[in-house]
Structure 1
């Protein structure tokens, strides 16, 4: 069923979203953005002790989850508790090009501010040009590059560190 052209509804994830988010995560897996191997059964839980439902914002179109963004702390240190990090972003294939990713990034910025953060950071693979352009258009700048940090799909790929003030 095609999705209507409308703005996505963004909300905090609920425990009941686990199955739908797990399926979305598996269906969007790609070496374009994933550094871990492709998930295989038995699948680990989407939510765990480090990533609770409240750490995720989900995007809905036509009452279906079509994307999520995961916010977390970059380290457990109190000295950088003022920083939040985007630790995952996924958009369903059928929802691409409809502003879902942009809406999730904007919601993550607002949520990080609401939680008292002064900075928001992320890591993106160097060959993920579309994601990098989207982040740049939302105010993120490259703050560092780890050359050839990962070997994915038969090639060495840079890890690009990006951030922005809030």
Structure 2
């Protein structure tokens, strides 16, 4: 399993090499320097994707404290290993335990994961619009719309 490096130095490099739209959605909350994430990085590397949800539950305190950038890197790691063969492993990361079961305390980490993903929605939507909205794509869509308007009505009328 490949390593996911979550140390301060690695995170600083990762953050600096992200496009502006990614950095705009993240804070540099990984620069706290109070926790060494090397051991967690090693645990993640040794974890099968099917067991990732158990790792999150076991290390819930670290996942709470690590900040959005580290959690998103973890989620990217998990998504990359889950799809397309094991999508249920990805889904289990987002499942909440019923109150009182297992006592994992990871339910609030699930909420943080969801918030982290939501924080990326705006910047990703803006990027998507910019990528789709180039002049050539607008021309293609306009031509297709014009073809539809000019096409003869289907036999039997408009549905």
**With structure 1 as the length reference, what TM-score do the two structures score?**
0.28
The structure carrying a bigger helix percent of its residues is 2
Higher relative contact order (CA 8 A, sep 6+): 2
Greater radius of gyration (CA): 2
The structure carrying a bigger strand percent of its residues is 1
